[in-house]
């Protein structure tokens, strides 16, 4: 008789979730849980910016959707709060199991969590499942992976590396073990934001992907991807990808089917190209054994973004102006206003405001990255850190960073000031 816990982390879905499938196949009783670490963090007195309400809402919606789907298969999702180790120790007392299934996340805090659980005697059965391409399909050993994206891409393309097709949702889930005293519903959402663009959850993700391809937006992606206004200039897959409401393989599979039906073109190729960027930042974490997310990789003597007081001590006034959209540069301020108001920002504006923070305000990239982390509903540790490092020139790609000329960017992308007017009036 095998009783186990399934710990949903950044994989809030049933479709193409190999780790959850494995747990379903190999256990007799399974307790699906999510640990709300935002809530736990918010109670600690550190000066890491708190997650925005938009970010929390998107997560809550995603959890709700997952719970609904689990319930349809006679299971449930238990949302727990507090220190993750304590949560598992409490569950272990009730369930008499030390087996935890979960997805593997190759980032410092998340790896440390699994180490602490192993040290406490838990048996972790984890699977890597967040990239489009499997690490072991790469044409090189991950330790020898090129540190520059173009070289990485050329090798992947030259060898015609393909993704493994996504797997189906489980058709049955093992029954819940007998358990008492834990909350099984999250509190209702407090505020419904009427004009919100993104709603969390696997069903919303699959709907969004379907309509994106049905409306044939993929064909024009390359032409429109540097747009700033609206839902259609880019795919907007990122919020759902970030929480794992859908997998990159599901999108890649849809893209392949689409190309089969309508033919490939610049637009469809460029979506693949961007998904490959996403994989590249993930694989960098393996290559650098996660040091990429760590200050040990950075020789500058600035306060550590992972510890206390960096926001108050490091460039406090400049940070406040930048983060609250009062720099005085209206293009930058419009971008920062959009970020706070929606939890999303176009790739172009992310690059521009990040460059402004690093080069015009001489800010520490880690402070900027921490602000993005708190605001973005599509926050993803690999893509966020990777892109910030790329722009600041602190990553493996030592090409001296990418500084954007703000006046030129404004002229090129918002010549008539429509974007600025949209967010600043
Ligand atoms: C400073 C900075 C911080 C960023 N932080 C994040 C983050 O926390 N989470 C996140 O998902 N993306 C991040 N990005 C990458 C990119 O801006 C977003 O993925 C993209 O804007 C999301 O919108 P979309 O889904 O419409 O993208 P599309 O342009 O439609 O691209 C399709 C998908 O490809 C991937 N992708 C596209 N561009 C990139 C990129 N440069 N790096 C990695 N993957 C990419 C994303 O998964 C995206 O959903 C960051 C970029 C910068 C410059």
Has residue 153 been placed in a domain? no
Look at residues 129, 152, 167 and tell me which one is the last residue of a structural domain.
129
Structural domain including 240 reads 202-287
Name the more confident of 312 and 364: 364
Q: Residue 243's pLDDT band (boundaries 50, 70, 90)?
A: very high
382 CA distance to ligand 1 centroid (A)? 10
- Of the two residues 28 and 178, the one the predictor is more confident about is 28
Give one DSSP letter per residue of 290-306, joined into a string: TGGGSGGG-------TT
Which residue matches tokens 């304590």? 86
- Average of per-residue pLDDT values in the chain: 88
Q: Put residue 181 in one of left, alpha, beta given phi > 0 → left and psi -120 to 50 → alpha.
A: left
**Residue with tokens 């089969």, as numbered in its chain:** 260
Q: What is the mean pLDDT of residues 220-243?
A: 96
**Mutation pick for ligand 1 pocket among 223, 251, 378 (CB with most ligand atoms within 8 Å):** 378
Asked if residue 135 belongs to a domain, the reply is no
pLDDT at 309 > cutoff 80? no
Residues 329 and 418 in one domain: yes
Q: What is the mean pLDDT of residues 120-149?
A: 95
Residue 330 lies in a domain: yes
Question: Do 265 and 344 fall into the same domain?
Answer: no
With CA atoms as reference, report the closest residue to 420 among 329, 354, 350: 329
Query: Tell me, what CATH number does 414's domain have?
Result: 1.10.579.10
- Which atom from ligand 1 is nearest to the alpha carbon of 353? 1
Poorest-pLDDT segment among 116-120, 129-133, 302-306: 302-306
Clarify whether residues 84 and 24 are in a common domain.
yes
Residue 222 has pLDDT above 80, yes or no: yes
More confident site: 425 or 278? 278
Q: Is the pLDDT of residue 194 over 70?
A: no
> Distance from the CA of 16 to the center of ligand 1, in angstroms?
21
> What pLDDT is recorded for position 180?
67
At 175, the pLDDT band (50, 70, 90 cuts) reads very high
**Is 151 part of any domain?**
no
Regarding whether 321 and 279 lie in a shared domain, the answer is no
375 and 336 in contact (C-beta within 8 Å)? no
How many angstroms does the Cα of residue 313 sit away from the middle of ligand 1?
30
Is pLDDT above 60 for 377? yes
Q: Does 6 have pLDDT greater than 50?
A: yes
Tell me how far the alpha carbon of residue 43 lies from the centroid of ligand 1, in angstroms.
30
Pocket residues: Cβ below 6 A from ligand 1 = 225, 234-238, 241-242, 271, 274-275, 277-278, 281, 346-347, 350-351, 354, 372, 376, 378-380, 383-384, 387-388, 391
- pLDDT at position 190 is 31
Instruction: Give nearest CA residue, ligand 1 atom 17.
Output: 347
The answer to whether residue 14 is domain-embedded is yes
- Indicate the number of domains in the chain: 3
Ligand 1 geometric centre to CA of 303 (Å): 27
Determine the pLDDT at residue 401: 86
Q: What is the pLDDT, as a whole number, of residue 313?
A: 54
Could you give the angle at the alpha carbon of 274 between the alpha carbons of 269 and 280, nearest 5°?
125
The answer on pLDDT for 311 being more than 90 is: no
Q: Is the confidence at residue 191, as pLDDT, over 60?
A: no
Give me the residues paired with residue 5 across strands.
Answer: 31, 100
Q: Give residue 179's pLDDT band: very low, low, confident or very high (50, 70, 90).
A: confident
Both 324 and 362 in a single domain? yes
Domain finish residue from 129, 152, 172? 129
- Specify the higher pLDDT residue, 150 or 296: 150
Q: Tens digits of per-residue pLDDT, 52-109? A: 999 999 999 999 999 999 999 999 999 998 899 999 999 998 888 999 999 999 999 9
Q: Please name the residue that has the structure tokens 């609904």.
A: 68
> Residue 384 CA: which ligand 1 atom is closest?
5
DSSP-derived 3-state class of residue 185: coil
Atom of ligand 1 nearest to the CA of 379: 8
Q: 286 pLDDT band (50/70/90 cuts)?
A: confident
Q: Output the pLDDT for position 296.
A: 41
pLDDT at 65: 97
């Amino acid at each position: 008789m095998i009783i186990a816990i399934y710990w949903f982390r950044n994989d809030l879905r049933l479709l193409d979730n190999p780790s959850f499938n494995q747990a379903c196949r190999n256990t007799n009783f399974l307790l699906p849980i999510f640990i709300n670490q935002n809530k736990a963090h918010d109670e600690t007195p550190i000066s890491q910016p708190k997650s925005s309400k938009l970010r929390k809402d998107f997560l809550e919606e995603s959890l709700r959707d997952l719970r609904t789907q689990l319930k349809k298969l006679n299971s449930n999702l238990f949302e727990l709060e507090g220190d993750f180790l304590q949560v598992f120790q409490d569950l272990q007392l009730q369930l008499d199991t030390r087996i935890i299934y979960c997805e593997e996340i190759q980032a410092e805090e998340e790896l440390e969590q699994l180490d602490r659980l192993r040290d406490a005697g838990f048996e972790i059965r984890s699977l890597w499942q967040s990239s489009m391409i499997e690490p072991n399909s790469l044409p090189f050993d991950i330790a020898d992976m090129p540190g520059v994206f173009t070289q990485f891409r050329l090798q992947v393309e030259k060898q015609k590396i393909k993704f493994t097709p996504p797997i189906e949702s489980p058709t049955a889930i093992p029954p819940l073990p007998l358990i008492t005293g834990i909350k099984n519903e999250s509190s209702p959402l407090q505020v419904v934001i009427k004009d919100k663009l993104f709603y969390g959850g696997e069903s919303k993700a699959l709907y969004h992907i379907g309509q994106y391809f049905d409306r044939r937006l993929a064909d024009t992606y390359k032409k429109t991807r540097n747009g700033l206004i609206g839902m259609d200039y880019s795919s907007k897959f990122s919020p759902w990808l970030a929480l794992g409401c859908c997998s990159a393989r599901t999108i890649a599979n849809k893209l392949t089917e689409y190309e089969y039906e309508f033919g490939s073109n610049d637009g469809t190729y460029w979506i693949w190209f961007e998904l490959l960027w996403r994989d590249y930042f993930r694989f960098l974490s393996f290559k650098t054994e996660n040091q990429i997310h760590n200050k040990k990789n950075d020789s500058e003597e600035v306060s550590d973004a992972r510890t206390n007081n960096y926001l108050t001590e490091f460039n406090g006034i400049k940070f406040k102006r930048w983060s609250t959209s009062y720099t005085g540069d209206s293009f930058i301020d419009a971008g920062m206003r959009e970020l706070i108001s929606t939890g999303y920002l176009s790739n172009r504006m992310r690059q521009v405001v990040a460059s402004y923070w690093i080069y015009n305000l001489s800010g520490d990239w880690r402070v900027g990255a921490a602000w993005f982390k708190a605001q973005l509903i599509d926050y993803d540790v690999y893509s966020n850190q990777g892109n910030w490092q790329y722009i600041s020139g602190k990553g493996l790609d030592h090409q001296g960073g990418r500084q954007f000329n703000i006046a030129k960017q404004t002229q090129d992308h918002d010549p008539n000031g429509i974007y600025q007017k949209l967010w600043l009036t």
